[in-house]
Amino acid sequence: MTVVDPPEQSAGARAAARRERIAGWRVGVLASPAAPVYGALIGVFVLAWVIVTIDGGNFLTVSNIVNMLQRSVALGIVSAGQTVVILLGSLDLSVAQLISLSSLLAASTMDGSMANFLPAVLVVLALGVGVGLVNGLVITKLQVNAFIATLGTALIIQGIIQYRWTGPQGGIPNQFSNDLGYTRFGIIPMSIFLLAAVVVVVWFLLTKTRFGYKVYAVGGSEDVSKLSGVRTHRTIITAHVVCSLTAVITGLFLAARLRAGTPTVGTDGGYDLESIAAVVLGGTALMGGRGGVIGTIGGVFLLAVLDNTFNQLEFNSFLRDVVRGLIIIAAVAVYARRQEKKA
Amino acid sequence: MSTESATSGFGVGTDSRGRRFLSSLLSTGTIFLLLIVLWVWIAIINPTFLEPGPFLAYLKRSAPLVILAAGAYFVLVSGNFDLSVGSLVTVMVVVAAKLIDGEPSNTWPVIALLVVIGAAVGFFNGFVSTILRVPSFITTLGMLLVLNGAVFLWTGGAPTGALAENFRSIGRGGIEGVPWIEQLPWSVLLMFAVGAASVWLMRSDFGRQLIATGDNERAARLSGVRVDRVRIWAFVLSGVLAAFAGVLLGGFGGISAQAGLGLEFDAITACVLGGVVLGGGRGSVVAAMGGALTLEALFTWMNLQGISGALEDTIQGVIIIAAVGFASYRLRGAR
Amino acid sequence: MAEKKLLLQMQGIKKSFVGVEVLHGVDLDLYAGEVHAIVGENGAGKSTLMKTLAGVHPPTEGKILIEGKEVQFAHPAQAQAAGVGIVYQEFNLLPDRNVAENVFVGREPLKRGLVDRRKMERDTAALLEEVGETGFTPRTPVRWLSVAQQQVVEIIKARSLNARILVLDEPTAALAEHEVELLFRLVRRLQELGVGILYISHRLREVFQLSDRITVIKDGGVVKTLKTSECDQRTLVSLMVGRDLDAYFPERGRPEDLGDVRLETRNLNTALLRDVSIKVRAGEIVGLAGLQGSGRTELARAIFGADPIDSGEVLIDGKPVKFRHPRQAVKAGIGFITEDRKAEGLALAQSIADNMMLAVRTVMPARKRRAAGVMSNKELAEVTELKARGPEQEVRFLSGGNQQKVVLSKWLKTKPQILIFDEPTRGIDVGAKAGIHDLIRKLARDGVAVLMISSELPELIGMADRILVMHEGKLAGELPAGASEPEIMELATGAHEEVAA
Q: Which of A9-18, A97-106, C391-400 has the least mean pLDDT?
A: A9-18
Question: Average pLDDT of C51-78?
Answer: 87
pLDDT of residue C244: 52
pLDDT of residue A342: 31
Q: What distance in Å separates the CA atoms of residue C183 and residue C202, rounded to the nearest whole number?
A: 16
Q: In which band, very low, low, confident or very high, does the pLDDT at C243 lie, cut at 50, 70 and 90?
A: low
Question: Would C419 be classed as within a structural domain?
Answer: yes
pLDDT of residue A321: 80
What residue numbers bound the domain in which C331 lies?
Answer: 260-493
* pLDDT, greater one: C270 or C244: C270
- Provide the percentage of residues in chain A whose pLDDT is more than 90: 40
Question: Would B101 be classed as within a structural domain?
Answer: yes
Q: Are residues C234 and C305 in the same domain?
A: no
Q: Are residues C282 and C207 in the same domain?
A: no
Q: Which of B14-18, C164-168, C414-418, C428-432 has the least mean pLDDT?
A: B14-18
Question: Would C137 be classed as within a structural domain?
Answer: yes
Q: Does B332 touch chain C (CB under 8 A)?
A: no
pLDDT of residue C3: 56
Q: What distance in Å separates the CA atoms of residue B137 and residue B141, rounded to the nearest whole number?
A: 6
pLDDT of residue B26: 58
Q: Does C95 touch chain A (CB under 8 A)?
A: yes
Question: Would B74 be classed as within a structural domain?
Answer: yes
Q: What tens digit of pLDDT does each residue of A21-39 get? A: 555 555 555 666 777 788 8
Q: Are residues C314 and C211 in the same domain?
A: no
Is the pLDDT confidence value at C85 over 80?
yes
Tell which C residues from 337 to 376 touch B, by Cβ distance under 8 Å: 338, 343-350, 354-355, 357-359, 361-363, 365-366
Q: What residues form DSSP beta bridges with B185? A: B174
Closest by Cβ to C347, choosing from B4, B226, B281: B281
CATH number at residue B301: 1.10.3470
Closest by Cβ to B146, choosing from A153, A317, A321: A321
Domain boundary among C192, C210, C240: C240
Is the pLDDT confidence value at C19 over 80?
no
Mapped onto helix, strand or coil, the DSSP state of residue C475 is: strand
Question: What is the number of other CB atoms lying within 10 angstroms of the CB of residue C256?
Answer: 6
Q: What distance in Å separates the CA atoms of residue C46 and residue C49, rounded to the nearest whole number?
A: 5
Q: Which of C97, C107, C111 to mutate to test the interface with A (most CBs of A within 10 A)?
A: C97
Is the pLDDT confidence value at B90 over 80?
yes
Q: Considering its fold, how many domains does chain C have in total?
A: 2
Question: Would B290 be classed as within a structural domain?
Answer: yes
pLDDT of residue C246: 52
- Provide the percentage of residues in chain C whose pLDDT is more than 70: 95
For residue A96, list chain B residues with Cβ-Cβ distance below 8 A.
Answer: none
Q: Are residues C175 and C62 in the same domain?
A: yes
Closest by Cβ to A225, choosing from C105, C126, C143: C105
Question: Would B109 be classed as within a structural domain?
Answer: yes
Is the pLDDT confidence value at C334 over 90?
yes
CATH number at residue C97: 3.40.50.300
For residue A152, list chain B residues with Cβ-Cβ distance below 8 A.
Answer: 317-318, 320-321
For residue A158, list chain B residues with Cβ-Cβ distance below 8 A.
Answer: 313-314, 317
Q: Are residues C343 and C209 in the same domain?
A: no
Question: Average pLDDT of B13-30?
Answer: 57
Mapped onto helix, strand or coil, the DSSP state of residue C4 is: coil
* pLDDT, greater one: C341 or B212: B212
- Provide the percentage of residues in chain B whose pLDDT is more than 70: 89
Question: Would C252 be classed as within a structural domain?
Answer: no
Question: Would B27 be classed as within a structural domain?
Answer: no
* pLDDT, greater one: B93 or B156: B93
Who's near C429: CB < 8 A, 6+ residues apart? C399, C400, C401
pLDDT of residue A2: 29
For residue C393, list chain B residues with Cβ-Cβ distance below 8 A.
Answer: 2
For residue A322, list chain B residues with Cβ-Cβ distance below 8 A.
Answer: 145-146, 149-150, 153
pLDDT of residue B27: 58
ipTM of the complex: 0.82
Q: What tens digit of pLDDT does each residue of A96-135 get? A: 999 999 999 999 998 888 888 899 999 999 999 999 999 9
Query: Which whole-number Å values give the CA distances from A76 to A65, A240, A271, C258, in the listed order?
Result: 16, 17, 10, 73
Question: Average pLDDT of C37-49?
Answer: 82
Q: Does C108 touch chain A (CB under 8 A)?
A: yes
Neighbours of C, requiring at least 3 CB pairs below 8 Å, are A, B
Q: Are residues C164 and C38 in the same domain?
A: yes
Question: Would B285 be classed as within a structural domain?
Answer: yes
Q: Which of A161, A320, A322 to mutate to test the interface with B (most CBs of B within 10 A)?
A: A322
* pLDDT, greater one: A228 or C471: C471
For residue C115, list chain A residues with Cβ-Cβ distance below 8 A.
Answer: 208-210, 212-213
Who's near C246: CB < 8 A, 6+ residues apart? none
Q: Does A113 touch chain C (CB under 8 A)?
A: no
pLDDT of residue C258: 86
pLDDT of residue A78: 96
> What domains lie within chain A, and their CATH numbers?
37-336 (1.10.3470)
Say whether A333 and B128 touch across the interface (CB within 8 A): yes
What single letter denotes the amino acid at residue C329? Answer: A
Q: Are residues C226 and C312 in the same domain?
A: no
Q: Are residues C385 and C452 in the same domain?
A: yes
For residue A317, list chain B residues with Cβ-Cβ distance below 8 A.
Answer: 149
Question: Average pLDDT of B81-97?
Answer: 92
Q: In which band, very low, low, confident or very high, does the pLDDT at B331 lie, cut at 50, 70 and 90?
A: low
Domain boundary among C188, C210, C240: C240
Question: Would C418 be classed as within a structural domain?
Answer: yes
Question: Would C291 be classed as within a structural domain?
Answer: yes
Mapped onto helix, strand or coil, the DSSP state of residue A15 is: helix
Characterize the bridge pairing of strands B182-185 and C114-115.
unpaired
Question: Would B43 be classed as within a structural domain?
Answer: no
- Provide the percentage of residues in chain B whose pLDDT is more than 90: 40
pLDDT of residue C299: 94
Min Cα separation B128/chain A (Å):
8
What residue numbers bound the domain in which B240 lies?
Answer: 48-166+180-334
pLDDT of residue A22: 57
Is the pLDDT confidence value at A59 over 50?
yes
Q: In which band, very low, low, confident or very high, does the pLDDT at C202 lie, cut at 50, 70 and 90?
A: confident
Question: Average pLDDT of B218-247?
Answer: 95
For residue A340, list chain B residues with Cβ-Cβ distance below 8 A.
Answer: 133
Question: Would C16 be classed as within a structural domain?
Answer: yes
Q: Are residues C236 and C286 in the same domain?
A: no
Q: What residues form DSSP beta bridges with C28? A: C10
Neighbours of B, requiring at least 3 CB pairs below 8 Å, are A, C
Q: Which of B86-100, C188-202, C403-417, C486-500 has the least mean pLDDT?
A: C486-500
Is the pLDDT confidence value at C17 over 90?
no
Question: Would C312 be classed as within a structural domain?
Answer: yes
Is the pLDDT confidence value at A5 over 50?
no
Q: Are residues C311 and C451 in the same domain?
A: yes
Q: pTM for this one? A: 0.82
Helix axes A62-87, A95-110, angle to 10 degrees: 110
Question: Would C499 be classed as within a structural domain?
Answer: no
Question: Would B329 be classed as within a structural domain?
Answer: yes
Who's near C15: CB < 8 A, 6+ residues apart? C21, C22, C23, C48, C49, C52, C57, C59, C60
Mean of the per-residue pLDDT values for chain A? Answer: 84
Q: Considering its fold, how many domains does chain B have in total?
A: 1
pLDDT of residue A27: 53
Q: Which of A54-63, A233-242, C219-228 has the least mean pLDDT?
A: A54-63
Question: What is the number of other CB atoms lying within 10 angstroms of the CB of residue C496?
Answer: 13
* pLDDT, greater one: B272 or A103: A103
Q: What distance in Å separates the CA atoms of residue B44 and residue C238, rounded to the nearest whole number?
A: 82
Q: Does C412 touch chain B (CB under 8 A)?
A: no
Question: Average pLDDT of B142-150?
Answer: 88
The three-point CA angle C475-C476-C479 to 5° equals 100
